[in-house]
Amino acid sequence: MSRGIVIAGGGLAAQRCAETLRRAGYDGRLRMICAERHRPYDRPPLSKGALAAADGDASLGFRAPAWYADKQVELLLGASAAGLDAMRREVLLADGTNVAYDELLIATGSRPLLPAAMRGLRNVSTLRTLDDARTLRAAFAAGGPLVVVGAGFIGQEVAAAARRAGVPVTLVEALPAPLAPLLGEAMGAWFGDLHSAHDVQVVLGRRVVGLEGAERAEAVLLDDGRRLPCAHVLVGIGVAPDTGWTAGNGLGDRGVRADESGRTAVDHVFAAGDAAATFDPVVMAFLPGSHWEAAARQGAAAARAMLGLDATASHRASFWSDLYDVRLQYIGHAALADHVRIDGDLGARDFSVTYSRGGSPVAVLLANRPQELPNARALLAT
């Protein structure tokens, strides 16, 4: 049996790499090492619709099982990459077996951060996988109260989904306003108000100093002495690249360093998605990925690079979010901005925000204005 191409990971970058390889005519052996028991699926819905209803779980998959059979893509489900020997060109799996490759894509994504003091408690969880979403759904069904630690997009989406399910929610954020470093203080305040208007208890500028309880967290303790009783705690304070298994190969220690075609410092090893750290010309540093669209493009670019075809992936940031009745869409790099212009009605949740720097637009945030997205893209492209 030939080695062929091995993709470590079962997320978006991995899937897009597999699809692009087959589309581009690669007909050799192709294997995907998927740590989860589920075939590759889309993660953004996990913090949105998937928290509302279980009946959509099956539709999360990128492709039907038949697609993998048709395209002769071998899925190694429940197989976790535990080590890499780039000299021998082998991935070591957690069960002790080796998977040898001609070309390897590292696309194992990221894992949620969970402070040591919060580990080991049955009702404290993070949200990254379908199984995590199922855990949260069960917690919603049990009624709450829910404490969400961290008001990034994951935390905010979970808070909104919990309210929709009728669960009492407290949202705790260490910053004075959610997302303020990214989107500015005015928008940060708007996000806080949005949750307050939906009866979320919003606690800003406060840190969690501990959890009360032995096997289960009974309450979350804040730095102002407050005690928040909880039935469940969801921690959404960020992620780190899940690349510890590649250590010892000189690939980088905070994500695998890769260029815009996914090439790493090691021959026959590529990286894409959240596992890859690409050079950010704005901050002049290698930063791990965190964007859905970038992951898709990097996976496709790596596939082309493996085949010796032209490959570059732009790293334009974009994301979307659903909070209550608000569809948010964002493109660009707002953190660069020196000027913020808001058009529309914040109170009516119908507005667009244009971030500019030196008079040139660098990012656009749309609230319930999907029709403006094509124009926003054109604005940033010029």
Partner 1 sequence: MSYTARIDAGACAAHGDCEDVAPEIFAIEGDVAVVIGDGPDDLWLEAARVCPSVAIAILDATGRQVYP
What is d(CA 38, CA 51) in angstroms, rounded to the nearest whole number? 17
Q: Residue 127, interface with partner 1 (CB under 8 A)?
A: no
Alpha-carbon Rg for the chain, nearest whole angstrom, is: 21
Residue 239, SS3 per DSSP:
strand
Work out how close the CB of 10 gets to partner 1 at its nearest, in angstroms, rounded to a whole number.
16
DSSP secondary structure, 1-69, as one string: ----EEEE--SHHHHHHHHHHHHTT--S-EEEEESSSSPSB-SGGGGTGGGT-GGGGGGGBSS-HHHHH
Q: Residue 16, interface with partner 1 (CB under 8 A)?
A: yes
Which range, of 181-189, 232-240, 339-347, 370-378, touches partner 1 by CB under 8 A?
370-378
151, 296, 323, 364: which one contacts partner 1 (CB under 8 A)? 296
Q: Residue 66, interface with partner 1 (CB under 8 A)?
A: no
Between residue 178 and residue 197, which ones bind partner 1 under the rule CB under 8 A? none
293, 324, 344, 350: which one contacts partner 1 (CB under 8 A)? 293
Work out how close the CB of 62 gets to partner 1 at its nearest, in angstroms, rounded to a whole number.
8
Q: Residue 333, interface with partner 1 (CB under 8 A)?
A: no
**Cis omega (within 30 of 0) on the bond before 178?**
no
Order the strands of the 219-222 sheet from edge to edge: 208-212, 219-222, 227-229
Q: Residue 23, interface with partner 1 (CB under 8 A)?
A: yes
The residue among 183 and 296 lying less far from partner 1, judged by its C-beta, is: 296
Sign of the alpha-carbon torsion through 185, 186, 191, 195: positive
Query: Strand pairing of 169-173 and 326-332?
Result: unpaired
Which range, of 13-21, 102-110, 112-120, 182-190, touches partner 1 by CB under 8 A?
13-21
The residue among 98 and 375 lying less far from partner 1, judged by its C-beta, is: 375
Residue 88-107 contact track with partner 1, rule CB under 8 A, x = bound? --------------------
156, 329, 352, 356: which one contacts partner 1 (CB under 8 A)? 329
Confirm if 299 and 15 have CB atoms less than 8 A apart: yes
300, 302, 306, 364: which one contacts partner 1 (CB under 8 A)? 300
Sign of the alpha-carbon torsion through 9, 15, 16, 21: positive
What is d(CA 218, CA 220) in angstroms, rounded to the nearest whole number? 7
Which range, of 156-164, 210-218, 259-267, 374-382, touches partner 1 by CB under 8 A?
374-382
- Two tokens, residue 140: 């919603």
Q: Residue 42, interface with partner 1 (CB under 8 A)?
A: yes
The residue among 130 and 233 lying less far from partner 1, judged by its C-beta, is: 130
Work out how close the CB of 336 gets to partner 1 at its nearest, in angstroms, rounded to a whole number.
19
Q: Residue 238, interface with partner 1 (CB under 8 A)?
A: no
Order the strands of the 90-93 sheet from edge to edge: 81-85, 90-93, 98-100
Q: Residue 274, interface with partner 1 (CB under 8 A)?
A: no
Work out how close the CB of 235 gets to partner 1 at its nearest, in angstroms, rounded to a whole number.
27
Work out how close the CB of 30 gets to partner 1 at its nearest, in angstroms, rounded to a whole number.
17
- Two tokens, residue 163: 């309210």
Q: Residue 297, interface with partner 1 (CB under 8 A)?
A: yes
Q: Residue 2, interface with partner 1 (CB under 8 A)?
A: no
Q: Residue 370, interface with partner 1 (CB under 8 A)?
A: yes
The residue among 36 and 293 lying less far from partner 1, judged by its C-beta, is: 293
Query: Strand pairing of 276-280 and 256-258?
Result: parallel
5, 19, 126, 305: which one contacts partner 1 (CB under 8 A)? 19
20, 126, 243, 356: which one contacts partner 1 (CB under 8 A)? 20
Question: How far apart, in Å, do the first and last CA atoms of the chain sit?
Answer: 50
Q: At what angle do helices 130-142 and 153-164 cross, to 10 degrees?
A: 40
HSE, side-chain direction, 13 A CA sphere, residue 113: 11
What is d(CA 286, CA 135) in angstroms, rounded to the nearest whole number? 34
The residues that touch partner 1, with contacts defined as CB under 8 A, are: 16, 19-20, 23, 42, 292-293, 296-297, 300, 314, 320, 329, 370-371, 373-374, 377, 381
